[in-house]
Structure 1
Amino acid sequence: MAEYILYHTTDGVGTLTLNRPKVLNAINYDLLRELDSLLDEIAADDSLRVLLLTGSGKAFAAGADIAQQAVMDPAEAEDWGKFGSGIFRKLELLPIPTIAVVNGYALGGGCEMAMACDLILAGEKAKFGQPETGLGITPGFSGTQRLLRRVGVSKAKELIYTGRMIDAQEAIQLGLADHVYPDDQLQEEALAMAKKIAGNAPAAVRYAKCAINEGAQTDIDAAIAIENKWFAKCFATEDQKEGMQAFLEKRKAEFHNR
């Protein structure tokens, strides 16, 4: 039974909520262990189409638990960094699309968790940042690597060196966030996007994620070959036949993930 994470599914959409509101959903070992176990369940759930990840209360996650880190020695800190980075990588590699729904603060480990998702939707009062240098450390859950891939090397350096916190509008301008909505509409808009994705052919969406992720790690010629591979795999599915037949018959497609 999870203590620090709430989770439920509806019509193929999973909603995972970090639930330590009294400490702004600060990330500690216990929360990460629960997340690790839940991600395994999510990966094995063939009925799931999209995952929404958000936080309870006034924050998405305001960083890793400082009290826990303050007493670590270098070996313990390395283990902690590997543990958190490995779980965020597991989140990133889920076969289904993942959407971070950032309500309030996404700082430090919280920002790193959001960046491990495919898309980031922000409320208008959301705040992002990697403030670790002000605590005498670097980002430890892959923030130095994911931030530069989202906003570019020089801007990532500026944000990490200064520890500056940015608002939702600047996050949009930099490419860190994908959409910003009024706070009272954020969850509704996120669910609407999730349902839109869930309504498409599940295999096609998963294959598209594979093609994008694999292609991003290589040169353009190899990336095009990767796309060709995943494109061809779609034609082995019943959903491809259904999707195209429905188009020709001018009706709504009924996909069955086959």
Structure 2
Amino acid sequence: MSFETLIYNKKQNYAEIRFNRPHRLNAVIEQFYNELLDALAQAEADNDVRAILLTGEGRAFCVGADMKEHGAGERTQYQRRQYLQLGNDVCEAIFRSTKPVVATINGYALGAGAEMACSCDFVIMAESAKIGFPEVSIGTCVGGGVTQFLPRLVGLAKARELIFLGTKIDGTEALAIGLATRSVADECLQNEAEAFIAELATKAPISMQLVKKLLNNASYADLDAQLQHELDGVFTCTTTKDWQEGVDAFAEKRSPEFKGH
């Protein structure tokens, strides 16, 4: 599948999806959202892909909506609604992917860019990169599940501050408050991200799928239900060949080689 607004690369056992509108700092348009949904579906369907890396070409991860296109005012009310729905669909697809998704933030991640990052399982930021939610400052509203995801990451008080004030924070501060998984020197970002996702991709795929769902749904279940879900997860793992491979590798003091079945 070929894309115009993205670059899709399959690297060993993970997929890199690189936003490719650098002339607009990777600002989003309908085509971008539609292609990103297709790219995520392609990675999801590929059994050889164990993890997904999202990043941006050029000087930004994604600066949000393409305001030049918005300013043209050529959308009908219905088309505007459909465009907004696409943004939600992308964030939901990232969140619900059975594979771990890593956002590698190389520059500005604003608005929709920050929303996509919050939907990911991991956020790796360059120290000088900036992430923020400017929506309230320009008279609009956050989307993509941010009002649910962000408080779980940084706490409700800090989420209010970031969203109400639209404050942009760098990688160092994002790490300190729990928004970023790692903050690394700018020149090391790509290597660090690739090493991180390569390690993720060595883990047992079925186990990863189960624990991702357990973690994502934990706040909606009471303890009794969560314990039952975990029990079901453990039992499911014991029915797989990967479980036996893990047991054998441990006994033989070697690294396991998981096949995803």
Pick the TM interval, shorter chain: over 0.9
> Does 1:231 pair with 2:234?
yes
Change in Cα spacing, 1:154 to 1:78, as seen in structure 2 (3 Å) is farther
Query: 1:56 matched to which residue of 2?
Result: 57
Match runs of 1:42-81 below 5 Å: 42-70=43-71, 71=73, 75-81=78-84
- State the secondary structure of the residue aligned to 1:9: strand
Number of corresponding residues: 258
> Which range moved further: 213-222 or 56-65?
213-222
Paired-residue identity, %: 36
Distance 1:256 1:153 in 2: 40
Change in Cα spacing, 1:77 to 1:219, as seen in structure 2 (3 Å) is farther
Match runs of 1:181-196 below 5 Å: 181-196=184-199
> Does 1:41 pair with 2:42?
yes
Query: 2:245 matched to which residue of 1?
Result: 242
Which deviations, in whole Å up to 9, do the C-alpha atoms of 1:28-54 show, x marking residues without a partner?
Answer: 111001111112211111111011100
> Does 1:164 pair with 2:167?
yes
Distance 1:196 1:14 in 2: 13
1:247 maps to amino acid: F
> Does 1:102 pair with 2:92?
no
> Which range moved further: 181-190 or 215-224?
215-224
Within the candidate set 128, 137, 154, 1:134 is matched to: 137
Asked whether the 8 Å contact 2:107–2:130 carries over to 1, the reply is: yes
Asked whether the 8 Å contact 1:26–1:62 carries over to 2, the reply is: yes
Distance 1:16 1:30 in 2: 15
Distance 2:77 2:149 in 1: 23
Q: CA deviation at 1:193?
A: 1.1
Q: CA deviation at 1:216?
A: 3.2
Within the candidate set 178, 197, 200, 1:197 is matched to: 200
TM-score for the superposition, normalised by structure 2: 0.93
Distance 1:15 1:90 in 2: 16
Query: 2:152 matched to which residue of 1?
Result: 149
Q: CA deviation at 1:217?
A: 2.4
- State the secondary structure of the residue aligned to 2:8: strand
Asked whether the 8 Å contact 1:102–1:120 carries over to 2, the reply is: yes
1:169 maps to amino acid: T
> Which range moved further: 89-98 or 154-163?
154-163
Asked whether the 8 Å contact 1:108–1:132 carries over to 2, the reply is: yes
Distance 1:36 1:254 in 2: 30
Asked whether the 8 Å contact 2:54–2:102 carries over to 1, the reply is: yes
Query: 1:32 matched to which residue of 2?
Result: 33
> Does 1:15 pair with 2:16?
yes
Change in Cα spacing, 1:42 to 1:247, as seen in structure 2 (3 Å) is same
1:43 maps to amino acid: E
> Which range moved further: 71-80 or 130-139?
71-80
> Which range moved further: 157-166 or 64-73?
64-73
Distance 1:254 1:75 in 2: 50
> Does 1:87 pair with 2:56?
no
Q: CA deviation at 1:215?
A: 2.1
1:41 maps to amino acid: Q
Which deviations, in whole Å up to 9, do the C-alpha atoms of 1:135-176 show, x marking residues without a partner?
Answer: 111113333332222212221111111111111111112111
Change in Cα spacing, 1:147 to 1:77, as seen in structure 2 (3 Å) is farther
Change in Cα spacing, 1:111 to 1:199, as seen in structure 2 (3 Å) is same
Which deviations, in whole Å up to 9, do the C-alpha atoms of 1:73-128 show, x marking residues without a partner?
Answer: 76544332222101210111111111000001000000001111100000011101
Which deviations, in whole Å up to 9, do the C-alpha atoms of 1:1-34 show, x marking residues without a partner?
Answer: 2101001112211100000001110011110011
Distance 2:37 2:202 in 1: 27
- For structure 1, the 5+ residue unaligned runs are none
